[in-house]
Chains A and B, each alone.
Chain A
Amino acid sequence: MTNHAKEKTVLVIPCSGIGKVHGLISREATYQVTDELAPGRTDTLCLGLLVRRDDEAVAAIKRQYCITIDGCPKACAEKNVQMAGGRIASSVQVAAAFKRHHGARPGTATDLSKDGWMITREVAEAVAGEVERLHDGKEVS
């Protein structure tokens, strides 16, 4: 990818919360977006690098649009990107997807079940939709 194309990519940053299945869903949804649904238009970035204020990572989130995916209302991805001065275009919460699937058994923080993968796909498609909107609106500068 050229540097110019790289700069147009949207950064999808999950919380990857280790304690709950929601964190795993945020992580896997990110990979579905970057690897399947919007490859070439999206990339991800280690949240840990923002935690330690890595120069390259901080420069990237200021330069490119970011979409954060959080497992729960603690919104660690959104908060950490904001604290590091990132440009957040959209914040998605996995918990919202669960409201549409009462009774679903998504699996564990280690292993997703069929239900869990279904919710992951839904979240990924919602994020991919946001990426599309950003590109169509020519807001990715």
Chain B
Amino acid sequence: MMSPEMTKVGIVSCSGESIAEGTISRLATRRVLELLRPDKTVTICLPLFVAGSEGEQNFAKTHPTITIDGCPKQCARWGTEQRSGPVSGALIVSEILGTAAKGCSRSSRSASKPDKEAVWIVAEHVAAEVDRVLAEVTNVPSEKTSTEVECACSRPLAGGTVTIGRTTVTIPGLHLIFEQCLDRSIPADESGSKDLLEAVKIYHRILPEEETEYRNVLLSAYCKFRQGK
């Protein structure tokens, strides 16, 4: 029985290049690794896993592993089971999304709302699967009501930092919040600063007396973010 603190779930994504579902599998895996379960998951590239050394091929022997495939050919599952043994879970993007994947694109450059929603949906499924696998291997009930148990909602988003006064503050998911503001055409000037502040307040508590300073700092950070785009 593995201890909850030490266990990580391995995720192997097909990342199939020919179809949008392959891109979605890759991006959903990244989202789980970076945001939804950053301390509970690891990944390895499928081609490296197959072509790599024994250490890399032992990946699924040392981690409970789930695979995310774009289509029913399930290349990631096949490769993992061939090299390392049975997987603990196997998801297929085309089955999760059904016809919703039809409007999605292969390249992230032309990522539209359907693309982002597809990645969101699949990532939530993957995160739930990670929880299920972790509950099984560590014998921690997934329905435990203690707020200390890791779950779909428990991880703070990977943060960006700003300086408020003399304090460095980490704001969860700041990059993503800025992406959302950009999508909503919030301008990077004084006229957009209120909407920017309101967007950040959803994910990070800001006290009323701090709002003025946050507003200025966030506007500056948002401007830099937009320049880098």
In the complex, A111 Cα to B79 Cα: how many Å?
A: 27
Query: Which listed residue (A24, A46, A51, A74) contacts B18, Cβ 8 A?
Result: A46
Give A30-60 as 1s and 0s: 1 = Cβ < 8 Å from B's Cβ atoms: 1110010000000011111101101000000
Q: Quick one: given A17-B45, A76-B51, are A46 and B76 in contact (CB under 8 Å)? A: no
Closest approach, in angstroms, between the C-beta of A119 and any C-beta of chain B?
A: 14
Cα–Cα distance between A112 and B179 once the two chains are bound (Å): 13
Partner of A31, one of B13, B46, B50, B107: B107
**Roughly how many angstroms separate A74 CA and B78 CA in the complex, as a whole number?**
22
Given A15-B47, A18-B30, A18-B45: A117 in contact with B109 (beta carbons within 8 A): yes
Does A86 sit within 8 A of B, measured CB to CB?
no
Residue of B nearest to A23 (CB): B45
CB contacts under 8 Å to B, within A107-138, are 109-114, 117
> How long is the Cα–Cα vector from A97 to B109 in the complex, in angstroms?
20
Cross-chain contact A16 with B17 (CB below 8 angstroms): yes
The answer to whether B27 and A110 have CB atoms under 8 Å apart is: yes
> How far is A30 from B75 in the complex, measured between Cα atoms in Å?
20
Closest B residue by C-beta to A49: B75
* B73 CB-CB contact with A under 8 Å: yes
User: Known: A18-B29, A46-B18, A83-B51. Contact between A51 and B46, CB under 8 A?
Assistant: yes
B32 to chain A, nearest CB (A): 11
Bound complex: CA A25 to CA B208 (Å): 43
Given A52-B78, A110-B34, A113-B228, are A47 and B19 neighbors across the interface (CB < 8 Å)? no
In the assembled complex, B202 has its CB within 8 A of some CB on chain A: no
Q: Is the CB of B45 within 8 A of A19?
A: yes
Task: Flag if A76 contacts B14 (CB, 8 Å).
Answer: no
B144-199 contacts to A, CB under 8 A, are 175
With A28-B109, A54-B73 given, is the CB distance from A48 to B30 under 8 Å? no
Chain A residues, CB < 8 A from B205: none
**B88 interface residue (CB < 8 Å to A):** no
The residues of A that contact B228 with a CB separation of less than 8 Å are: 105, 113-114
List residues of A whose CB falls within 8 A of some B CB.
13-19, 23-24, 27-28, 30-32, 35, 44-49, 51-52, 54, 74, 76-77, 79-80, 83, 105, 109-114, 117
Report which B residues bind A (CB closer than 8 A). 13-19, 22-23, 26-27, 29-31, 34, 43-48, 50-52, 69-70, 73, 75-76, 78-79, 82, 106-109, 175, 228-229
